[in-house]
Amino acid sequence: MEPILVEPAPPPKPTTVVIDPGHGGSDTGVLGVNGLKEKEVVLAVAERIVRLSEPINTIKIAITREARDVEWSDATRVNFTLTKTQADLFITLHTGASYSPTARGFELYIAAPTTDTTGSTNKPPSDAGKSSATQNASLKLAEKIATALSASSGASARGIRRVPFRILNSLNIPAVAIEIGVLTNPEDEKLLASDEFRDKIAQGILAGIQEYLAETGGSP
Nearer to Zn ion by C-beta: 41 or 213?
41
Is residue 145 within 8 Å of residue 178, measured between CB atoms? Answer: yes
Cα–Cα distances in Å, from 79 out to 91, 118, 199? 14, 30, 29
Size of the site for Zn ion (CB under 5 A): 3
Q: Per CB under 5 A, does 29 bind Zn ion? A: yes
The amino acid sitting at 173 is I
Smallest separation, CB 38 to Zn ion (Å):
5
Under the criterion CB under 5 A, does residue 198 sit at the interface with Zn ion?
A: no
Does position 60 interact with Zn ion (CB under 5 A)? The reply is: no
Verify binding: residue 65, Zn ion, rule CB under 5 A. no
User: Quick one: which of 16, 18, 19, 22 contacts Zn ion (CB under 5 A)?
Assistant: 22
With respect to Zn ion, which residue has the nearer C-beta, 22 or 105? 22
Which is nearer to Zn ion, 140 or 158 (by Cβ)? 158
Nearest to 19 by CA among 201, 183, 193, 218: 201
Q: Does residue 21 interact with Zn ion by CB under 5 A? A: no
Stretch that binds Zn ion, among 29-37, 125-133, 138-146, 198-206 (CB under 5 A): 29-37
**Strands laid side by side in the 59-63 sheet:** 59-63, 15-21, 89-96, 175-182, 106-111, 157-163
Q: Which of residues 91-120 bind Zn ion (CB under 5 A)?
A: 94
- Which residue is nearest to Zn ion, using beta carbons? 94
What are the angstrom distances between the C-alpha of 65 and each of 24, 43, 46, 137, 202? 8, 9, 10, 25, 18
CB atoms within 10 A of CB 93: 27
Q: CB 199 → Zn ion: shortest distance, Å?
A: 21
Residue ranges binding Zn ion (CB under 5 A): 22, 29, 94
